[in-house]
Structure 1
Amino acid sequence: MSNTEATQEHSPEQTLRQGKPLVVAVDGPSGSGKSSVSKAVAKRLGLAFLDTGAMYRSVAWHCLNGRINLENAAAVEAAARTITMEQTMSPDVELFRVNGINVTDAIREPKISAAVSAVATNLGARAELVRRQRALIAEHHRRIVVEGRDITTVVAPDAEARLILTASEEARLRRRGLQLGGTQSAEQLVEQVLARDAKDSTVVDFHRAADGVYTVDSSDLDFEQTVDAVIAVVRQAVNAGPAA
C-alpha cells in the first residue's frame, strides 16, 4: 500500500464514512476563535457541534435572572444540577434554552461574560456540566466537535483528535473587539478576555497542551486558513491513531 493510500484510508472523511467515532476536542483561551472555527470544522466534517461555554453561560444567566448569589457556591452548584438546558447540536443553527426560555442572545451579553467565571470556577457546578457534556457526546455516537476549556484533558481525554487553538493576546483582543462590533472599550475587552482567562485558569489549564494534544496558533492566520490548519491536525491525529 502506498503512503497516499494509507493516508486516505485513515483520513477523518473515511473514518466518518465507516461510521466510526470521531471526537474532535478543542480547547483555547478567550478570543482564539475556537467557537467559530470549531463550527466550521464540524460542518466540513459532517459532525455535531457542542459549545460547552454556552452551558456555563446558561447557568450564569439563570443565576442572574433568578437573583442567585454567584458567590454562594452551593447555590450555584444546585442551579447547575437542577436547571433544564437545551441546545442545538448542529453547526448551522444556534439555539439555547434554559427552563424553556430562549437565551440564545442573552447569554452573549457583556454582563454574562463578566459573571460566567463564577460558574466556571465552581468545582461542583463544573463537575455537573462535565457530566452533561459527556452524556451529549455519547448521545451523538461520539461523532462531534466539542470546544471549551477543559475538553482535551477532562471532558474528552480519549478523543480521536485533541488540540489547543491559541493566538497572541493582541490578536485575541482585536478579534473579540470586532466580534462585539466595537461596543466595548479597550479596558472592557481586557476584562472580558484576559482577566476572564486568568480567573478560569485557576481551575483548568487551557493555555498549554497536555501530552498528545496538538497546538494550532492562529495569530497570523485568517479564518479559512485556521479551519484548514485544524482539519490538517485532525487528519494527523487520526492517522497517528491512539497513543501507545
Structure 2
Amino acid sequence: MVVVAIDGPGGSGKSTVAKRVAAELDYAYLDTGATYRAATLAVLLADIDPDDACGVIGATSAIDIAFEDGVVLLNGADVTEAVRSDRVTGAVSAVSAVAELRSAVVELQRRWVADHGDSVVEGRDIGTVVFPDAEIKVFLTAHPSVRAQRRAGDAEAAGKEVSDIERSLVARDDADSGREVSPLRPAEDAVVLDTTDLALDEVVAAVLSEVSAGN
C-alpha cells in the first residue's frame, strides 16, 4: 500500500493538488481536515464550548464520522457543506487541539486508508503523525497573501475581504503550529514546495514526479 502524504496550511493548495494527484494515480483520496471539522460540528451542535476539552471529549466520544464518494457523514447525515461553515472554521483549531480527540481521529484515518488501499492523504500532520512512514511526503506552503487570494475564490469565502481572510489564515497558522499535540510542521524527510509563484499544473506535476521517484 502506497500513501502519498500532502501537508500544509490553509490556502496552500493541498486539497486541490491532492485531489488532482489522486485522480492521476487512480488512488483513493482522504481529506483529513474534514474529520476534525465533522467532530467540531458535533461539538457545536451539542452546544459545547470548543475550548472546554472535557466537553469536547464527551461530545465526540460516541459520534460516527464516515466518508463516501467525497461526502462527509456525521452519524449518518450528510454534513459536507455544514463542516465548511464559518462557525466550524472558527472553532476547529481549538477542538482539534484536544489530545484525546486527535488520537481517536488519527485511528479513524488510518483505518480508512487500510480499507481503501493506495491513497493520497492531505492534512496538517499526515507525514509527521498519521503516516510517519509514508513513501511520499510533501509539504505545500505559500505566502499568506497568495493563500488568502486563493481562498477568496472559494464558495465558502464569498463576500469576505481578502485582508480578513489573510488574518484568519495567519491566526490559524499560529494556533496549529503552536499547539502541543501534532503541531503543523514539515516532516524532516518531506519535500517542501513553495507554491506562491507556481500554477496548479506545475505543483501537481512536481508531486507526481516525487511519486515516480519514490516508487
* TM class by smaller structure: over 0.9
Once residues 206 and 233 of structure 1 are traced to their aligned partners in structure 2, the CA distance between those partners, rounded to angstroms, is 21
TM-superposed deviation, 1:102: 1.1
Tell me the CA shift for residue 65 of structure 1.
1.4
Match of 1:146 among 110, 121, 128: 121
Fraction of identical pairs, as percent: 38
Q: Quick one: distance in 1 between partners of 2:61 and 2:20?
A: 31
Contact 1:164 1:206 in 2 (8 A): no
The answer to whether structure 1 residue 199 and structure 2 residue 175 are counterparts is yes
Find the partner of 2:130 among 148, 151, 155.
155
Map of 1:183 onto structure 2: 159
Instruction: Give the 3-state SS of the residue equivalent to 1:201 in structure 2.
Output: helix
Runs of 4+ in 1 over 6 A off after TM superposition: none
Cross-structure match for 1:220: 197
TM, length-normalised to structure 2: 0.92
Q: 1:147-166: per-residue Cα shift (whole Å, max 9, x none)?
A: 10100010001111111011
- Whether contact under 8 Å (1:25, 1:162) holds in the other structure is yes
| Maintained 8 Å contact 2:147/2:166 | no
* Partner Cα separation in structure 2 for residue 212 and residue 72 of structure 1: 35
**Cα distance per residue 1:160-179 (max 9 Å; x no partner):** 11110111112111101111
* Residue ranges of structure 2 left out of the alignment (5+ in a row): none
Q: What amino acid is the match of 2:165?
A: L
Give the conservation status (yes or no) of the 8 Å contact 1:80–1:128.
no
Match of 1:116 among 92, 108, 114: 92
Q: 41, 45, 67: which one pairs with 2:25?
A: 45
Q: Is the 8 A contact 2:28 2:120 kept in 1?
A: yes
Q: Does 1:102 align with 2:78?
A: yes
State the Cα distance separating 1:191 from its structure 2 match: 4.0
Which sections of structure 1, spanning at least 5 residues, go unmatched?
1-20, 239-244
Post-superposition Cα deviations, 1:68-105, rounded to whole Å, max 9, x if no partner, equal: 221220121233331011112xxxx4211111221111
Report the 3-state secondary structure (helix = DSSP H, G, I; strand = E; otherwise coil) of the residue aligned with 1:133.
helix
Q: Secondary structure at the match of 1:219?
A: coil
Residue in structure 2 matched with residue 172 of structure 1 by the alignment? 147
What is the TM-score normalised by the length of structure 1? 0.82
Quote the Cα distance in structure 2 between the aligned partners of 1:219 and 1:155. Answer: 26
Which shifted more, 223-232 or 43-52? 223-232
Whole-angstrom distance in 1 between the partners of 2:129 and 2:206: 24
- Secondary structure in 2 matching 1:26: strand
Query: What SS does the corresponding residue of 1:96 show, helix, strand or coil?
Result: strand
- Secondary structure class of the residue paired with 2:30: strand
Displacement after TM superposition at 1:186 (Å):
3.6
Give the number of the structure whose alpha-carbon radius of gyration is greater: 1
